[in-house]
């Protein structure tokens, strides 16, 4: 298991991850962009929370002031883009496939969750109401089907 600690760069962790077969990499938000693990190196991606920005961030607070409904008009679209970027870590080429697990129950319990789901490319979605994990995506070569049970 390779866990990101304060000061660890995503690139050094990526190199370590590629050296150790069947390893598990625990990373922070710095892995949402710019990390490339094509082919069989990355098979499962677990996203613990939807990637909303920190509400007290002064830059985001200033931008939110420009919107009448800043959460729906600014925060949701920004988070959707970030989620798509995060899922993009799993699929880098047309032949890549893998499993993405999103543990954030807001995808199924909040009205805005459908906006996130509708913005994603086609994939298999498995919802299971009795698990703490609300959504599992099985992503394959340019297709995503929907399974609900």
Q: What is the pLDDT of residue 133?
A: 53
Q: What is the pLDDT of residue 81?
A: 93
Closest CA relative to residue 106, chosen from 33, 25, 31, 50: 50
3-state SS, residue 143: strand
Q: Which residue has the higher pLDDT, 80 or 40?
A: 80
Distances (CA, A) of 33 to 10, 114, 129: 10, 23, 31
pLDDT of 111 strictly over 90? yes
Q: What is the pLDDT of residue 32?
A: 77
Q: What are phi and psi of 118, to 5 degrees?
A: -70, -20
Measured CA to CA, the distance from residue 125 to residue 138 in angstroms comes to 7
What percent of the chain is predicted at pLDDT more than 70?
81
The burial of 45, by beta-carbon neighbours within 10 Å (0-12 exposed, 13-18 middle, 19 or more buried), is given as buried
The dihedral formed by the CA atoms of 111, 30, 57 and 112, expressed in degrees to the nearest 10: -10
Give 47's strand partners.
102
Domain boundaries, the chain: 32-50+87-148
Residues 6+ apart with CB under 8 A from 112: 72, 76, 106
Q: What is the pTM of this model?
A: 0.76
pLDDT of 144 strictly over 70? no
What percent of the chain is predicted at pLDDT more than 90?
15
3-state SS, residue 147: strand
For residues 78-96, one letter each, b for 16 or more C-beta atoms within 10 angstroms of the residue's C-beta and e for the rest, the string is ebbebbeebbebbbeeeeb
Residues 6+ apart with CB under 8 A from 61: 55
């Amino acid at each position: 298991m390779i866990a990101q600690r304060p000061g660890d760069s995503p690139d050094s962790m990526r190199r370590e991850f590629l050296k150790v077969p069947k390893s598990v990499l625990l990373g922070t938000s710095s892995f949402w962009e710019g990390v490339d693990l094509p082919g069989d190196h990355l098979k499962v991606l677990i996203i613990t929370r939807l990637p909303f920005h920190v509400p007290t961030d002064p830059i985001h607070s200033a931008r939110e002031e420009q919107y009448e409904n800043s959460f729906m008009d600014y925060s949701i679209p920004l988070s959707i883009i970030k989620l798509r970027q995060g899922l993009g870590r799993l699929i880098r080429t047309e032949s890549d496939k893998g499993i993405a697990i999103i543990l954030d129950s807001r995808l199924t319990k909040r009205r805005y969750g459908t906006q996130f789901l509708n913005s994603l490319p086609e994939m298999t979605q498995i919802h299971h109401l009795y698990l703490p994990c609300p959504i599992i995506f099985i992503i394959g070569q340019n297709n995503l089907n929907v399974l609900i049970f």
